[in-house]
Structure 1
Amino acid sequence: MLCFDLPYFTDSADLFQRIAKLPGAIWFDSCAHGPRSGRYDIMSAQPIRTISVEAGKCLIEEKGQQQEHHGDFFELLEKQIASLPSECSNTHIFCGGLLGYISYDLGMQLPFNCVKRPSNKSYIADAHMGLYGWAIVQDHHSQRAWCLGPDLGVEQQQQMTKVVEACQSKTWPKVTKSYQCSNFEAQISKTQYQANINKIQDYIQAGDCYQVNFAQQFSADFSGDSLSAYLTLRQALPSPFSGYLKLEKGSILSHSPERFIRVQGEQVETKPIKGTIARGDSAEQDLELAQKLQNSEKDRAENLMIVDLLRNDLSRNCKLGSVRVPELFALESYPNVHHLVSTITGTLKEDSSAIELLKDSFPGGSITGAPKKRAMEIIAELEREPRSIYCGSMVYISANGNMDSSITIRTLLDDGEGQIHCWGGGGITADSSSEGEYQESLTKVMKLMTSLQNHSKDSK
């Protein structure tokens, strides 16, 4: 194992900008958001190979050569992890392994779900994971930074040496490029959105489901540097499960507050968000709104439904009797909203793995509804367009078995063709108000959209 100490930066953007132009640069960004979630930042580039799913085909690319893999995508991920020597101990959060994303649309195709896609339209690949031989890690608790990875030979050592030198340099190519972003426009009318909510409630009354997570898409014209846009948004809405990935075509700019699944050693954790209310304009109003959310029977019932769903999902790969709920309906506050967040834990079975757990639980129940498959069928019927990265996951899987993943809400997609997209929605139940749900879908992403638009106008 190669490991080099690096200078620690309070803001990891100062480190990431030093490697951002390298191929496959990716950043798992905690935004140093408090003691509960924001401890580690992980950055890497120059993947050994990439594994993607496009148009139903699993593709492997290495050194410019691409071949099709006829087999299961997740089994292929297992083989990639097994190809790296697991030299680092479990105390290292990441020591080389897989970094990337899995879209909600890939989740529709998995055995537990098998839901027909609403259309063949696709902005980006359904999944894209890179096998990375090194990573820069920042620990905001101990205020340390390092670059580490398995010793894979002379080429690997040369790569890491150059990266370490760049990170130790007192000068670096800071992001100065600008971008232009038009006003975002909803892709569905308010009347149609509310009519779809009413239709969901008809399904609930008919006994098809208990809850459906329904969303709408917003799009704007976009040009310029997506990393500059990402840095603008992280100032406006710092979130503990943020991430940036520049793709061959387009970019992912995620500012998620929600963990999907973490595995450290044999310990498993998921933290679903269900229950949202806007922040107040004054301290008194803000406290009043927070208490209103905590006491809301509707939001607590909605949260509990998803807790039960995720307990079931985790039990497929956790030891019998190990799944617990240590925290229920906890309040977490962000610059734009308050959330209710619950915590579910378990112990991974000896004959299972983090990747198996991810596959069997994907996509996250907090962004589908319950029961999961029927909720996903209703989503496909009413949303009509693919969700793409929205409600998917950004994931890292370390060579030592550790994994962490987000739910990619509060996430924007630069499609590489002149537009940027984001989505907002919420869980619909029998007690939902169509007007209230419509406003909630706006509240969740309005700060992202206005920040991007306003900064673009200011820079003209």
Structure 2
Amino acid sequence: MPAPGFGARQSSGALDFTVRAGEPEGPAQEQTPAPKTFGGRIPKQLVGSNLSPSAFIALVERAQAYIRAGDIYQVNLSQRLAARFPFSGWELFQRLSAVSPAPFSAFLDCGEFQIASSSPELFLRLSGRHVQTRPIKGTRPRSTDPARDAQLTYELQTSTKEMAELVMITDLLRNDLGKVCEFGSVQVPELVRLERYPQVQHLVSTVEGRLRPDTTHLAAFASSFPGGSVTGAPKFRAIEIIDELEPITRGPYTGALGYLGFNRESQLSIIIRAAICKERTVYFHTGAGIVADSVPAAEYEETLAKARGFLQALHYDRLPQRTVRA
């Protein structure tokens, strides 16, 4: 599971932080890639995964056994893609932002490695004593054919499975915020909202509350971390199962990226749709939420749909086929 980390922006030195933060507007936000040119050409990359399709499907089936046994109701499982990349982490961030723009895109240079994130998910937004989180659950790919795209949207909005996932995680986050908020202040002003991005479309809910007077933003962060949408329910048993089933650690993936302000203005995103760049190699975790009625092969395909922006940023137009242990 992700390990929390903190840093401060410096004018010179190892750590540099750039963020493009915003919030989708309207009931169904549309985002399309903006044309962008780059200084260097990149060849199509050979992309591998730490899990073959059959291995990922086997993990889903093992997770469903835990669900049937009553250990958990839902768990997020991921695979990690890897490829060589001949340019800088900043170059990858520019490419990723061009093909897969997102409201919480961010770039973090940690010296030995860089995080290039195109995250659509808000973890926490805090302003004074007001706190808000916006979990994502439910995914369908986008299609260039308008009729097919509309059909996929309809499937997503009418899926009892996807709605059940969203409701479960929304309730989990209500509980997380309830630990640090005034009694009765935690509300769900919007249970389900459709958001569309260039490669995928999601269902999103909004949970908010009012912090107790003695609660700091750091305490609110600690109460909620890691995000429920990228772990499962119950959260800590799901984390134990993730640690057991996934063959490699997640690193920054599904952690949080943002800032905690001394002026009590803070915002953090969930680190998803994010590439980790280290020594000319890029790593990209991509996951899916598993429930009792999940179809394992469909969950595998969902992970690939979420990786499409990353693959496009690498000029890669095929799905990863080989297994690597990078």
TM-score by length of 2: 0.87
Inter-CA distance 413–180: structure 2 relative to 1 (3 Å threshold): farther
Q: Which amino acid aligns with 1:362?
A: F
Deviations 1:295-336 (A, max 9, x none): 100000011000111001001110000000010121011001
Out of 399, 420, 438, the residue aligned to residue 282 of structure 2 is 420
Match of 2:206 in 1: 343
CA distance in 2, matches of 1:22, 1:179: 29
**Unmatched 5+ stretches in structure 1:** 1-18, 37-173, 456-460
Using the TM superposition, give the Cα deviation of residue 25 of structure 1 relative to its aligned residue in structure 2, in angstroms. Answer: 2.4
- Residues 199-219 of structure 1: per-residue CA shift (max 9 Å, x gap): 111110011100010010101
1:437 aligns to what? Answer: 299
Q: Name 2:145's counterpart in structure 1.
A: 282
Contact 1:181 1:223 survives alignment (8 Å): no
Of 16, 19, 37 in structure 2, the residue corresponding to residue 25 of structure 1 is 16
Pairing partner for 2:111 from 248, 257, 266: 248
When residues 20 and 358 of structure 1 are mapped into structure 2, their CA distance, relative to the original with a 3 A threshold, is closer
Give how far 1:29 is off.
Answer: 1.1
Query: Are the aligned partners of 1:29 and 1:241 in contact in 2 as well (CA < 8 Å)?
Result: yes
Which range moves more in the overlay, 436-445 or 283-292? Answer: 283-292
Ranges of 4+ aligned residues in structure 1 off by more than 3 Å: 19-23, 32-36, 174-181
Alignment partner for residue 317 of structure 1, among 160, 180, 193? 180
Larger Rg: 1
2:159 aligned with 1:296: yes
Counterpart for residue 29 of structure 2: none
Gaps of 5+ in 2: 1-8, 27-36, 318-326
User: Aligned to 1:360, what secondary structure does the other structure show?
Assistant: helix
One-letter amino acid matched to 1:244: F
Name the aligned partner's letter for residue 309 of structure 2: K
Preserved contact between residue 209 and residue 370 of structure 1 (Cα < 8 Å): yes
State which drifts further: 176-185 or 202-211. Answer: 176-185
The answer to which structure, 1 or 2, has the higher relative contact order (CA under 8 A, 6+ apart) is: 2
Give me the whole-angstrom Cα distance separating, in 1, the residues matched to 2:305 and 2:312.
11
Q: How does 1:136-215 map to 2 (within 5 A)?
A: 176=39, 182-215=45-78
**Could you tell me how far apart the structure 2 residues matched to 1:407 and 1:27 are?**
15
Q: TM-score, normalised by structure 1?
A: 0.62
C-alpha distance after superposition, 1:116-171 (max 9, x if no partner): xxxxxxxxxxxxxxxxxxxxxxxxxxxxxxxxxxxxxxxxxxxxxxxxxxxxxxxx
Q: CA deviation at 1:222?
A: 2.2
Q: Does 1:399 align with 2:262?
A: yes
1:374 — aligned with what? Answer: 237
Instruction: State the Cα distance separating 1:397 from its structure 2 match.
Output: 1.3
CA RMSD, 1 decimal: 2.2
The count of aligned residue pairs is 299
Per mean C-alpha deviation after superposition, the further-off stretch among 179-188 and 257-266 is 179-188
Q: Which residue of 2 aligns with 1:220?
A: 83
Q: Which residue of 1 aligns with 2:3?
A: none
